[in-house]
Structure 1
Amino acid sequence: MTTDTITAVDASVTTLKLAPALPVKGAKPQWFSETGLSDDLYPYKHLLPTFDGHLKLPPLTEFEHKDPGHEAKEHADPLAFLANSDVDELTPRFGSEVTGVQLSQLDDAGRQQLALFVAQRGVVAFRDQDFIDQPPEWQIRNWGQFFGRPHIHPTSGAPEGYPEFHLVYRSPNSTLNFERPDQLTSVLWHSDVTYEKQPPGLTALFLYDSPKSGGDTSYVDQRQAYQRLSPPFAAFLETLKATHSGVEQAEHSRKGKRGGIVKREPVINEHPIVRRHPVTGEKALFVNRQFTRRIVGFKKEESDALLELLYGHIEKGADFQVRLRWKPRTVVLWDNRVTAHSALVDFDAVTTAKRHGARITSQAERPYI
């Protein structure tokens, strides 16, 4: 099996309208866990995590990526796909909620405009979507590949037959997420798999089931984090690179955590501490506590001190963060190049709580300044 997945979209893979999980006419959408129905009736059982300890993937190869948002800038109306929608800005510069747009129905032009809009707003929640009930083949090969090469996570569980899905899953009996019960908080700010040579761009996350409350996701704008720095300090940071490592994540898995699998050997790559978005031209900090390890050329104490300053700045920036509440049939899209995020595990005391979702992670260009 190769990680250079899918070089052309199969035209036979089209959208398919499936019956919603709870097809009660006029009923308010519910999470399955709210219905009181037996788990035997869970409509997404076929998308629960599996762990293939024999699957070994080769190293990822480089590829040329062109962001579809470039094309949207040439359109007469670069955001025409929003014409009949309701857009609620969560903050003036960062984060939006949208109703009135069906992601599954966007044509190529609409998807290009979507890529530009997500790049501009950082993170966008699309409500009342039928996306969740489209075939996984379409979600990966038609949707995910449009925005970049679908990434196969090196350690996470995936539904059988769909390794490109990165699953988040927590049941009352087990957890497959990075939870840290020996620490004071579950918050861990990160951008996804930044240890890859070509980390993700536009990323999609949708939940099949969730607790009625809790389990929100917080996002931080790394562009504003950069913009608030003094010009001389920002200019200094632009001269620096840092290492990003997947080794610790792999070792965590080798110890039997989160399914205990390592599908691809971990890598360490260097990226600029400040990166530029290829479509908007905006600069953003590109460090995160989970995967960034050391500033290249610095002694350990120097690197630790500077990275800790940046981490603290990002984590304390409530005035450039948003907290998104999950609702049934929501799809959250974010640009992994200019944001960081953290799951909030505040439902761990609810003995019946289950959280099950999938992430489609499209790789983008190698970071540059």
Structure 2
Amino acid sequence: MSTTEIVAASAEALATLKLRTEGSNEEQKQADAEPYRYAHLLPHFSQDHYPPLTPYEHVDPGHRALDHPNPRAFLDNASSVVELTPYLGTEVHGINLAELTNDDRDELALEVARRGLVVFRDQQDFIDRGPEFYREWGSHFGRLHIHPTSGHPQNYPEIHLVYRDGNTSFNFEINDSITSTVWHSDVSYELQPPGLTTFFLLAQPTTGGDTLFTSQVSNLKKLSPQFVAFLRTLKAVHSGVEQADFSRAGKRGGIVRREPVENIHPVVRKHPVTGEEALYVNRQFTRRIVGLKKEESETLLKFLYDHIDKSGDNQARVKWTPNTVVLWDNRVTAHSAIVDYGESKERRHGARITPQAERPVPASADLDLNA
């Protein structure tokens, strides 16, 4: 090819690229001008105030599935069932969650308890059924939790929302940290924290905004038997005070609908259905080990947090694609959002359905949580 031909070809390529870019920009402007499909589910911060939560008797639906002839029958028609890692997570294609029967939902609860995390793709039907359906869905798995500080769709306080775009963040974020990774089990400060949890994105950035999960069962198993035996004798304070203070400072939505609480939970808890033991501390809400001196407690918690942070072999990463619904068992799985998409100014809008479960059961029957 001659120099003249090369120059001509380059000019033609640049012109084509310019047209594509202009077309892409026009498509984006048109998309931005269209009404947001899920505007009815944008965060609303009501001025309602709620009394303290009262105890309730939780019956885990996974118990019922133990008596089914095939506790995984709800997966029989799936087109694909793939384990994300040996210890945590399963990805499922070809199942419509919205069409599951009550028996299917019981089996789902057992599967999530056993695998810790189950990812369902292609769930537009589920997502588009709306907040009345979300409440009905979640109520099958426990009493729905109303978050004390987060935004929710108007008139649907049981639906917890996470939201961030180029102008606003209604998330609980610590901006003076070098990382957005903060492992936690949702609202572990409650007397009866959540069990099976359902989460999905209504809008997401083009790339980024993934979620990390870690198996607290596997994290515990990595520790020596002698050390685990010691941890079984310990209990820790989980606190919602910092989260409430964050909102009272005018951040998130500036609302505290229920006064924050602190509760004591075992450092090692036992799942009521599977019997598996799991580490139950998290950097976001656990504050101190009961009965240890300040330096002892801080040293031990730092070790456990570092262990959770660094145990990549116990972790799974969910990359969000449109119409993905993720379920995890908050009793045995911790997670962290990854806020790496801020410079794109794109919207990330998620909804969480959060049924409460039992008060954490100590792995050691001798541990008295009330003493």
Do these two structures clear the TM 0.5 threshold for a shared fold by scoring above it?
yes
Task: Return 174-183 or 359-368, whichever deviates more.
Answer: 174-183
Give per-residue Cα distances to partners, 1:65-102, cap 9 Å, x unaligned.
01000111101001000012111101112111101111
After TM superposition, what 4+ stretches of structure 1 lie above 3 angstroms from structure 2? 33-36
- Alpha-carbon contact 2:45-2:255 (below 8 Å) kept: yes
- Alpha-carbon contact 1:65-1:365 (below 8 Å) kept: yes
* 1:299 pairs with one of 285, 293, 296: 293
* 1:43 pairs with one of 37, 41, 55: 37
| Pairs within 5 Å for 1:263-282 | 263-282=257-276
Q: Does 1:136 align with 2:131?
A: yes
Match of 1:117 in 2: 111
CA distance in 2, matches of 1:204, 1:35: 33
Match of 2:55 in 1: 62
TM-score by length of 2: 0.88
| Pairs within 5 Å for 1:150-189 | 150-189=144-183
CA distance in 2, matches of 1:354, 1:200: 27
For structure 1, the residue ranges without an aligned partner over 5 or more in a row are 1-32
> Match for 2:68: what amino acid?
H
Per-residue deviation, 1:178: 2.2
Q: Quick one: percent identity of the two aligned structures?
A: 61
Per-residue deviation, 1:183: 1.4
Match of 1:206 in 2: 200
Give per-residue Cα distances to partners, 1:262-311, cap 9 Å, x unaligned.
00000000000000001100000000000000100111100000000000
Give the secondary structure class of the aligned counterpart of 2:340. Answer: coil
| Pairs within 5 Å for 1:13-52 | 36-38=30-32, 40-52=34-46
Give per-residue Cα distances to partners, 1:299-347, cap 9 Å, x unaligned.
1100000000000001100000000000101100000000100000010
- Alpha-carbon contact 2:172-2:243 (below 8 Å) kept: no
CA distance in 2, matches of 1:344, 1:192: 16
Per-residue deviation, 1:135: 2.7
> Match for 1:112: what amino acid?
D
> Match for 2:60: what amino acid?
D
* 1:347 pairs with one of 338, 341, 359: 341
CA change 1:38–1:349 in 2 (3 A) is: closer
If each structure's helix is expressed as a fraction of its own residues, which one has the higher value?
Answer: 2
* 1:358 pairs with one of 333, 351, 355: 351
Give the secondary structure class of the aligned counterpart of 1:147. Answer: coil
- Alpha-carbon contact 1:62-1:198 (below 8 Å) kept: yes
Give the secondary structure class of the aligned counterpart of 2:344. Answer: coil
Give the secondary structure class of the aligned counterpart of 2:342. Answer: coil
For structure 2, the residue ranges without an aligned partner over 5 or more in a row are 1-26, 363-371
Give the secondary structure class of the aligned counterpart of 1:359. Answer: strand
Q: Does 1:367 align with 2:368?
A: no
**RMSD value, Cα:** 1.2
Structure of larger gyration radius: 2
- Alpha-carbon contact 1:119-1:280 (below 8 Å) kept: yes
CA distance in 1, matches of 2:320, 2:59: 31
Q: Does 1:253 align with 2:247?
A: yes
Match of 1:22 in 2: none
Match of 1:8 in 2: none
